Each structure stands twice: as C-alpha cells, then as structure tokens.
Structure 1
C-alpha cells in the first residue's frame, strides 16, 4: 500500500518530506522546493477550494499570501505539528471519500429530479452518524475542525455538502477503514517526526519554521490521505483488508 502511495507521488514529481531532523538548517526547518502547485494539481477545483480553507485554518496563512508573509517564521511545537499532519491526512482521506459520495448523491438527485425520494439520502445518513472521536476523547486538534463545519439546509455544491457534516459525523467519516491503513499512517508519522508521545511535556521540542514550510507539510498530508483512500480501495478489491473497529 505504501509503495503505491509513493508511486502516486512520483507521478506528480513530488518527493515526500524526509525525517524532519534532516531538514533542519541552523536550527530552522525549511522544506524546499515547496511543490505547492504539484500537490494541489491532483484535486478538482471544488475540492481545492475546501483544502485551501483548511490550510489557512491550521497554519494561519492567508489563501493568497505575499512573499513576506509566506517566508515569515514562527515557533511551533513538534507534537502539535505531528498532530496537524496526521489530522490533515485524515482530512484528505475524508474529502476523497465524500467527494465521490457527493458525485453519486448529485447523480441520484438529478435522475430523481421529477420524482420523490422514498428514503434518506447518503448525506442525511452521514449527518446522523455517531459521536465517535477521531482522536480518542477530547483533543486540542478537534477545535481545528469546529470552525470548518456547520450545518446547511440544502446541498448546493461540494463545499456546502462537506460543511453540512456536524463534528461527530465528520469524525466518524474520517475514520480509516482498515487496520493496515491505521498502521501505515502511524509508521509514516513516526518516520517523519520521530517518537512524539506527549504534548504535555515541558521539554517538548519547538521548531522554528516558515509558514511556507507549514503549508507544504499540510498540502502533502492532504494528498497523502487522498492517495491512501485510493490505494486502500484498490487493494481491498484484490486482498480483503482487516476492518478497523473503534471501541
């Protein structure tokens, strides 16, 4: 599964960011080249609009920043950065899944334009999901999603469709389907950030980096999540993967 994801990145001429310690120069983390355009090219314009909002929310960087704003530096906790990276993988995974479901829902809506529905739509069933926690209990990262999600009466476009999910349903839909996918994300995150166990330590590492590098990491994570959904779906049709059950 991991090799297929790497292959998909190679198709857009993007190398995954190596272990962060190897990207530190004089105590500053810089990821070059940015490859932002390449990482954005895999998404449709509708999905890309949502992703740019996500990037702006988690990094604090404007959608169209100036050069000075992009290269401005900030100190960030390594633990928090790791959490944002994993959360962005799940967000990319979620967007890939929900965009396909949206296309199906829209097709059904168009075909049923002159008729009446006999039951709840896919979107209705999604919005009635349980309150499963994506990160297990109360987590600081959940506040990242709180401002992204609100309810809408009607589905006008993909953005409204996605934002119609309340936090509980979003967390459930972003859950990785297979145990193999969970292990893959854990191993990849560990390889990138090292052994990051707790964000409560007074000795937690702080990293000096630019907002441009933060944007690069988030865009990579979202693309990783999208590719993960595709490869997981492909492999599951050939070799039955183990279901990931959350207790």
Structure 2
C-alpha cells in the first residue's frame, strides 16, 4: 500500500518530506520546494476550498496570504505539529470518502431529474377549443412559464447544494464513520509513516516536547502533503482490498 501511495505522489511530481530532523538547519525547519500547486492540483475545486480552510484553521495562515506572509516565521511545538500532521491525514481520507459520496448523489440526482423531465406531460387544451383561444387570455404562455419555472427551481435547489453544504448535512456519527479507515492495515500505515517523519521518539513527545522555528510556507507544505496522503490512502486501500482481503478496522 505504501509503495502505491509513493507512486501517486510521484505522478504529481511531489517527493514525500523526509525525516524532519534532516530538514532542520541552524535550528530552523524548512521544507523546500514547497510544491503547493502540485499538492492542491489533486483536489476538485470544492474539495480544495475545504482543504484551504483546513490549512488556515490549523496554522493560522489566511487563504489568500501574500508571499511575505508565507515566508514569515513562527514557533510551533513539535507535539502539536505531529498532531496536526496525523489529523490532516485523517482529514484527507475523510474528504475523499465524502466527496465520492457527494459525486454519487449528484449523479443520482441528475438521473432522477432526467426521468422527471421525460415523464413530465404538460396540460393540453382540448382540440375543440377555437383557434387562438389560449392566446387570447395568455394561458399558453403562462402554463409554459409555470412548467419551466417549476423545473428550473427544482434544478437550482439541487445545484445549490454544494460540497460544503452536503458535508454539513451529516450528523457527528456519520462524519466519524467517513474519517475512520476501513482497514487495520491503513491505520498501521499512518502510524508507521508518522514515526518515519517525526522519528522514533514520537511516542515520547509529551515528555520530550520542544519548540520548532519554521516558516508558514513549510507548515503549509506539511499539512497539504498530509491531506494528500490521506486521499491517496483511501484510493490505495480500496484498490488493495479488491485484490487482497484487508482486516476490517
């Protein structure tokens, strides 16, 4: 599974961040190149909006931040950074799961809309009415307008349910089920990857926590990579499970 995830990253030209201790120079953590565009390109526009809000909420960087803001430095606890990375992996997994559900329901809504349009029959005036009778009182135009208005309203109501609104429609239990990896192998993979990134001492971060100096751009890269990792993990888990039966989490 891990090799397949690495392959997905290679497809977008993004190498995974190595062990963070290798990225520290003179007490400052810098991850370069940032690869922000490549990491954002894997998401649809609606999902990307949620990803950017996630990044902004976690590291305090505005969505439309300037170059100066990105290169500004900040201090962050290593414990918090590890928690942010793990949470972002699960968030990427969650977004992938919900976005596919959203796409499925959109397709079903379109299919239902097509069926309604095919089965819709407008009111027909009896042929015995004098020619021009309906035009005299404007009935024909009003009926067509009402029918068209009803169809347009139904279509607009469906169309207005964007991804964010769709996601907010679920209760807490449903949202947690979307974020929960389906297999134990996926859970173990997240844990091992986090250890490889933060070091074997990650289990003892509470006792040995330290403050890291880094730029907002590096934090952004780290969070975006974690979200992408979670998204690729969902795809990989689904594929591997179709070939080998994974252990249910």
TM-score, normalized by length of structure 1?
0.79
1:197 counterpart = 2:196 = no
Matched with 1:3 is 3
Matched with 2:104 is 104
- Equivalent runs, 1:39-50 vs 2, <5 Å: 39-50=39-50
Matched with 1:184 is 189
Secondary structure in 1 matching 2:93: helix
1:55 counterpart = 2:55 = yes
Secondary structure in 1 matching 2:203: coil
Equivalent-residue separation in structure 1 for 2:55 and 2:67 (angstroms): 17
Secondary structure in 1 matching 2:212: strand
Aligned to 2:242, which of 224, 227, 237? 237
For the 8 Å contact 2:92–2:228, the answer to whether it is kept is yes
Matched with 1:125 is none
C-alpha displacement of 1:200: 4.3
C-alpha displacement of 1:207: 0.7
Secondary structure in 2 matching 1:197: helix
Moved more, 70-79 or 156-165: 156-165
Q: Number of residue pairs matched?
A: 206
Matched with 1:69 is 69
Equivalent-residue separation in structure 2 for 1:216 and 1:170 (angstroms): 26
Unaligned runs of 5+ in 1: 116-153
The 1:6–1:166 alpha-carbon spacing in structure 2 relative to 1, beyond 3 Å, is same
Secondary structure in 2 matching 1:237: helix
For the 8 Å contact 1:9–1:15, the answer to whether it is kept is yes
C-alpha displacement of 1:71: 1.1
* Runs of 4+ that moved beyond 6 A: none
Matched with 1:224 is 229
Q: Which gives a bigger RCO, structure 1 or 2 (Cα 8 Å, sep 6+)?
A: 2
Secondary structure in 2 matching 1:196: helix
C-alpha displacement of 1:166: 3.9
C-alpha displacement of 1:75: 1.0
Moved more, 103-112 or 209-218: 103-112
Q: Deviations over 1:64-83 (max 9, x none)?
A: 11122111111111111111
Equivalent-residue separation in structure 2 for 1:17 and 1:27 (angstroms): 18
